[in-house]
Structure 1
Amino acid sequence: MKPIKSRRTFLKGAGAATVAGLAGCSSQGGNSGGGETTESGGSGGDDSTGTTVGSSGDQSVTIQFWHAMGGDLAQRIDDITNSFEEQSDGITVETTSRNSYRDNLNATTSAVSSGNPPALSQIFEIGTQLAIDSQAFVPVEDIIPSDRINFDNFLDPVLDFYRVDGKLNSMPFNSSNAIMMYNRDAFEEAGLDPDDPPQTYQGITEASNTLTSEGVVDQGMTFPNHSWFVEGWMAQQNTTLVNNENGRAGRATESNLDTDAAQNIFEWWTDLYEQDQYLNPGIEAWGEAQQAFLTQKTGMIIYSTSSIAPMQQGASDNGFELDTAYLPAPNGERTGLPIGGASLWVPRGLSDAQQQAAAELLLFMTQPEQQARWHRGTGYFPVRKEAITQLEDDGFYEENPAFRTAIDQLNETESTPATSGALMGPFPEVRTIIEEGYVSMIQGNTNVSDGLSQMKSDVDETLQSYNDRVA
């Protein structure tokens, strides 16, 4: 499958946590993650682990790594850390899997406040502003020697999100974006061209009606009711989710949910539901959406690139071939997408040996070899250009074209405030407002225009309340 290219190509280019609950961490002091630009890296730079700086003489050091992965993903993290231990000099890594990204962020900031933090913590992308505001973390640029890493070799769309005020606060690790997956067999049976999947909202609607009218599936499309997709669709139209350049030129104070871009998204989404072509699995119901697609109740699903590998296996187990396509856009033209996933943060309060050991583990986990290994087993795209080159040289993408779609979609993303992703403290709460707003629309409680107006009002009030607390 060869997705239609956009007109630009750029390789270079619910319980929400609140700062009130993190206030105890500010006593640790130090830089909150902003400030003047002090970019590390440059050309060259050896980011192999080399001689461990985390041990001293006969002394070894043990560090804690808290993450939010479960199941096979948790095992893959354990495999990486075990490999690190085998080649390191005296560093032991103890991993702990938390229930969710939100739980892990709250547990980490509480541990910093109590003086017993982990050395590394995996925090989801929407927790970035919360983490900075907590003052519970040390920017990774401050602890990794500039001659040990080359940030020029990292993918720009990934660094664009995590670099705030010129400072890289956390180390990108598991990054993803939204993608469409579809059932090639269902397309063929319905008379649709599986090598030419729909690229637009209208195309999705038409393909859905063809799939159902031919009796191939019950409904055309499914995906979780998740604000992450709305954020991607806003970026595709080069419209920021919030003001002040998506919260990057100053704190976000109001949303852009009253724009034509938002209207385009929700008019299509509600219309697809009203035509009985959208199988609504529920708010953030990833597992339910996956099940509906893999049992062939729908012919298409919008999901995360992080799950390409297990989704391919699930499709094969259910007797059909899965393929991937770009996230559909209103008119087929797309500026690009913000990333999702998570990054690795270093808490304050560590000993020098623990902090240096954490730096060594960060260097190891982002080596091209480790990133390629992670990508092959999951679908999270490598954060390093060099890893992609290795995979290309190995013929991985020729044998696995479904994975290539995610890389192409990423590389064709233009660097703008919209595609860099939004920064705001109450992001988890904002997502809930947007998701519940959609439910209100399809239940007939409000029309799209009035629903978006209410969403904007609720989000703006939430932003103001958060900003007042941290002021």
Structure 2
Amino acid sequence: MGKKKVSALVLATTMVLLSACNVNMGGGDTASKPADAASKPAGSSSSAPQKVVFWHAMGGSNTKVVDQMVSDFNASQNKIQVEAVYQGSYDDLLSKLKTSMGSSDGPSIVQMYEIGSRFMIDSKTITPMQNFIDSEKWDVSQLEPNIAGYYTFGGKLYSMPFNTSNPILYYNKDLFKAAGLDPAKPPKTYEELKAAADAITKTGKATGANFAIYGWFIEQFFANQGSDYVNNGNGRTSQATESLVNNEAGVKTLAWWKDLIDTKAANNLGRKTDDSKKAFSAGQVGMILESTASLKGLVDSAAGKFEVGTGFLPKPADAKEGGVVVGGASLWMMNNKPNEEQKAAWEFIKFLTSPKEQAYWHINTGYFPITKKAYDEDSVKDNLKKFPQFQTAIDQLHQTKLNTATQGAVMGVFPEARQIVEGAIEEVLNNKKSPKDALDAAAKEITTKIQQYNKTVK
């Protein structure tokens, strides 16, 4: 999952410049549509295969997984040749993409993290996936609806989900036992988590809990209470104009979080999720929130030391019905490429969504399969036996009911909004402001930036 923030200044400046210059970064109406039935099949115009360039931000061991999938596709046929290019972090990738816009130097397909979706649409540089889906009546029902839902706007799927995750509660079963808690029953509510964390801290063996100061978690807590993060249907019925981060869901969550810290039921290790994971793996804290993509690593790091349990993201006992929002990234088709190249890229995207490839992707990265039939693959079934904790993630995803809250908020300044919210959390946990005052100030600042951004894309 992408966890680094894009420089909001770069994003805003780019959009202002584009607006001021009235540059159409797209390839025009013709290039924004997939090749029609009369077009030649990809690679048929000459003996040379059609080249497709795929930019991505999957580093570390995930780079090898991407490269293997690309190699498998290239070996499966001889008309299309995909070249995968690792571009560094999401920040680096977005910066390079902006530089390439308006030129022929950019990719055919680009991976973009979820909070960059509004920018990608507003840039007018992409061809919606729905065009290709409609062109050949591709069965979109094969996709996980709660994953596809994030990237669907106005009933149209704009990008193809790729690496997908959401947060779950990880807990140390051994510490639960030592505190007299049932290790088979993770806390489901804010109130139950507070009680469990208190019990663990009182044993003197560890601190009850730790949550990294990460804006993504706050967004998830909103969705889990059925609460929108911005106005206008979470920015989905029309463009968001106001932040709602200071509503009841936000204040209640931050007050609960502060109480955990004040009563020593939890500690504050700052913004780095890696620090939270290290403390958990060392047995220093009993519970953390973390991405489903971290499951294998956390289970492996605890091997021989303690047993890892998993639970749903907690919410207030009196919360409205909600669920989790998917994180990660999706694949976007750039519209300044010839129809033949776009159609070739679409063939590669379809290959990636196949059950076999999704099974391979899931097992080797920890991300969700985006295709429902991937769960029927023997390799996935075997992996679930090895890591039964992942069933929690699957159940949480499937039990989430799709609505504007769980689809996720959409705004053009999302990366910067996350940083503003993280600053507000820090102010509260460090006793500089009350939850209401900190979130009121954050909402005002985010609202101003949303409205400034909106002016650049009118």
Please, what TM-score do these two structures have when normalized by structure 1? 0.87
Q: Counterparts of 1:71 and 1:56 in 2: how far apart (Å)?
A: 37
The one-letter code matched in structure 1 to 2:24 is S
Q: Which amino acid aligns with 2:403?
A: T
Counterpart amino acid of 2:369?
P
Query: What's the counterpart of residue 259 of structure 1?
Result: 247
Indicate the residue corresponding to 1:53 in structure 2: 42
Structure 2 counterpart of 1:173: 162
CA contact (8 A) 1:30 1:135 kept: no
SS at match of 2:373: helix
Could you say which residue in structure 1 is the equivalent of 2:26? Answer: 28
| Unaligned stretches of 5+ residues in structure 1 | 1-13, 39-50
CA positional deviation for 1:151:
0.3
Q: Are 2:205 and 1:216 equivalent residues in the alignment?
A: yes
1:99 offset after TM fit, Å? Answer: 2.7
Match of 2:313 among 327, 330, 333: 327
Give the gaps of 5 or more residues in structure 2: 1-5, 34-39
What is the identity, as a one-letter code, of the residue corresponding to 1:422? A
Paired residue for 1:450, among 414, 417, 437? Answer: 437
8 A contact 1:68–1:101 mirrored in 2: yes
Shift of 1:146: 4.5
Q: State the partner residue of 2:232.
A: 244
1:20–1:469 contact (8 Å) kept in structure 2: no
Separation in structure 2 between the aligned mates of residue 392 and residue 265 of structure 1, nearest angstrom: 39
Residue in 2 that maps onto 1:18: 11
Give the structure 1 partner of residue 345 of structure 2.
Answer: 358
Judged with a 3 Å threshold, the aligned counterparts in structure 2 of structure 1 residues 393 and 379 are, in CA distance, closer, same or farther, namely closer
Runs of 4+ off more than 6 Å: none
SS at structure 2 position matched to 1:26: coil
Call closer, same or farther: CA 1:148–1:73 in 2, change over 3 Å: farther
Supply the AA of the counterpart residue of 1:82.
Answer: S
Q: Which residue of 1 aligns with 2:326?
A: 339
The alignment partner of 2:106 has SS state of coil
Please say if 1:404 is aligned against 2:391: yes
1:288 Cα offset (Å): 1.6
Question: Partners of 2:63 and 2:318 in 1: how far apart?
Answer: 37
- Which residue does the alignment assign to 1:8? none
How does the TM-score come out when normalised to structure 2?
0.90
Q: 1:134-283 residue pairs with structure 2 within 5 A? A: 134-144=123-133, 146-147=135-136, 149-217=138-206, 219-283=207-271
Deviation at 1:62, TM superposition (A): 2.8
Partners in 2 of 1:415 and 1:460 — Cα distance?
25
Which residue of structure 2 aligns with residue 289 of structure 1?
A: 276
RMSD over aligned CA atoms reads: 2.5
Query: 2:174, 2:193 → 1: CA distance?
Result: 17
Q: Report how far residue 289 of structure 1 moved.
A: 1.5
Identity %: 35
Q: 1:144–1:359: 8 Å Cα contact kept in structure 2?
A: no
Contact 1:112–1:348 (Cα < 8 Å) also in 2: no
Using the TM superposition, give the Cα deviation of residue 398 of structure 1 relative to its aligned residue in structure 2, in angstroms.
4.3
- Following superposition, the deviation at residue 112 of structure 1 comes to 2.5
CA offset at residue 349 of structure 1?
A: 1.7
Q: Is the 8 A contact 1:199 1:329 kept in 2?
A: yes
Q: Deviations along 1:319-346, whole A, 9 cap, x unmatched?
A: 2222211011111764211111100011
CA contact (8 A) 1:207 1:220 kept: yes
Per-residue displacement from partner, 1:361-401 (whole Å, max 9, x unpaired)? 10111111111221122321111111123369845434432
How far apart are 1:136 and its partner, in Å?
Answer: 1.5
Is residue 434 from structure 1 mapped to residue 421 from structure 2 by the alignment? yes
